[in-house]
Amino acid sequence: MDAKQFREAAFRYAQKAGCQGAELVESRSKDFSVGVLKGEVDTYTVCRTLSLSLRVQLDGKNGYATTEAAENPEALVDAALDNARAVGSEDIHPMAGPAQYPAVTAPADALMGMGEVEKIDLCKALEAATLAQDPRVKRVSTCRVVTAEGEVHLHNTLGLEAHREERISCILVNGILEDGAEVHDGGAFRARGESLDLTGCAREAVEEAAMQFGGKPVAPGRYPILLRNDAAYSLLSAFSGMFSADAAQKGLSLLAGREGSTIASPLLTIWDDPLYSLNPMAFDDEGVPARRKKVVEEGRLLTLLHNLKTARKAGVSSTGNGGRGSGGIGVSPSNFYIQPGEGSLDSLMEKLGTGLLITELSGLHAGVNALSGEFSLLCKGQLVEGGKIARPVAYITLGGSFLELLQGVQYIGGDLRFSLPSGSCFGSPSLCLAPLAVSGQG
């Protein structure tokens, strides 16, 4: 049977079984990935998937089940019913009704029209471009070209009908440089409309590695910090769960009950914008229409991120941040970013004067405590003296509190940069921060 017949049969059976509601998400995807090593194809994957995910509402409880075959809808409903009956307490999670969705325009994507042979040749060219950048490049550890395209259809028994297409392409490379006894690596990526920028991607990866030669620690102490844009969005991503209303309602966020209060520097504004042109989405995973909103405005927390369930509990409207995962429906950011200010990285170094430019943070999973807001992260960067780079810095640890960091934002650059657009996407410009604790040996 086709997807429509499967859906209609599942809904009829669910309602006959006593369900108050049923919802089906049909996801189709085609993923391509190729990796090159020493001029030859090292990895090659083409994957087509179909997923049918059902949610049923039964006596105040939600049950979930998933299949990869559009056959036997009754068995899928029975599995979801068993799941609902196994829930120990009521789990009121509303379903969205029919809605009008904003029009979105898919961003330009340089690789989607390419055939597989062309993508393989592109990957080989990226590796060659990286090896040609610097005689110290001895090998390339990672060189990949990735494309993914899919579509999502969302229907429920309330009459909701929503459809979206999802496409993403990117190139990634990591080069390894050797100079005497020192070995360093550096990576870079380009996505969507910039995915043909092989030279720029290769140059960035090699420069990232080259700037590390001669790196050594600084004496322990508190240093003014300039957090480069990519390091800043990595940290924002690691602590994004703090802005989830689901986490707050479970007592797992420091921001619980703090809407309307000041949590950051008055210079800081944070957006969650599913309509941002880099990665636009017309609706969230519950079918709630997308809307652009400020989460933090000039340091004041305006809202947490809500799905339908958390919004109902809080007596507010969903912010359109319903996200589906293996555990059911949760809360996910869309395009979550710090509003840029003005000025380049060089101009921020002049404002910094003397301090540390942090270009890379490591251990973002082990070194971050999202519940307490504390972090302790290995990092690399540059010592800045008199507004100019003095020497590389390595083998240091940056520690502090995420809220302390937000409150200590002193200048915001204009160099907004985003992570790879895949589901939630995070962005930040470079940030000048009040002194933070740094440990290392001089």
Q: pLDDT tens digits for 345-403?
A: 999 999 999 999 999 999 898 899 999 999 999 999 999 999 999 999 999 999 999 99
- What is the pLDDT, as a whole number, of residue 265? 98
Identify the three-state secondary structure at position 381. strand
**How far is residue 296 from each of residues 24, 303, 344, measured CA to CA in Å?**
34, 7, 23
Beta bridge partners of 169: 147
Query: What is the percentage of the chain residues whose pLDDT exceeds 70?
Result: 100
> Could you state, in order of their start, the residue ranges of all structural domains in the chain?
221-237+341-439, 241-338
What integer best gives the mean pLDDT of the chain? 95
**pLDDT band with cut points at 50, 70 and 90 for residue 216:** very high
Cα-based angle 296, 290, 284 (whole degrees, multiple of 5): 105
Beta bridge partners of 155: 24, 161
Identify the three-state secondary structure at position 73. helix
* φ, ψ (nearest 5 deg) of residue 310: -70, -35
- What is the pLDDT, as a whole number, of residue 385? 97
- What is the pLDDT, as a whole number, of residue 72? 94
- What is the pLDDT, as a whole number, of residue 442? 46
Is the CB of residue 312 less than 8 Å from the CB of residue 92? yes
- What is the pLDDT, as a whole number, of residue 441? 57
- What is the pLDDT, as a whole number, of residue 260? 97
Is the CB of residue 288 less than 8 Å from the CB of residue 96? yes
Cα-based angle 359, 364, 215 (whole degrees, multiple of 5): 35
305 DSSP 8-state letter: B
Q: pLDDT tens digits for 304-328?
A: 999 999 999 999 999 999 998 877 8
Give the residue among 399, 354, 365, 349 at the shortest CA–CA distance from 379: 399
* φ, ψ (nearest 5 deg) of residue 172: -140, 140
Identify the three-state secondary structure at position 335. strand
Query: What is the percentage of the chain residues whose pLDDT exceeds 90?
Result: 91
Residue 103 scores a pLDDT above 70:
yes
Residue 197 scores a pLDDT above 50:
yes
Residue 164 scores a pLDDT above 50:
yes
CA gap 349, 386 in Å, rounded: 8
Identify the three-state secondary structure at position 143. strand
* φ, ψ (nearest 5 deg) of residue 128: -65, -40
Residue 14 scores a pLDDT above 70:
yes
Residue 408 scores a pLDDT above 80:
yes
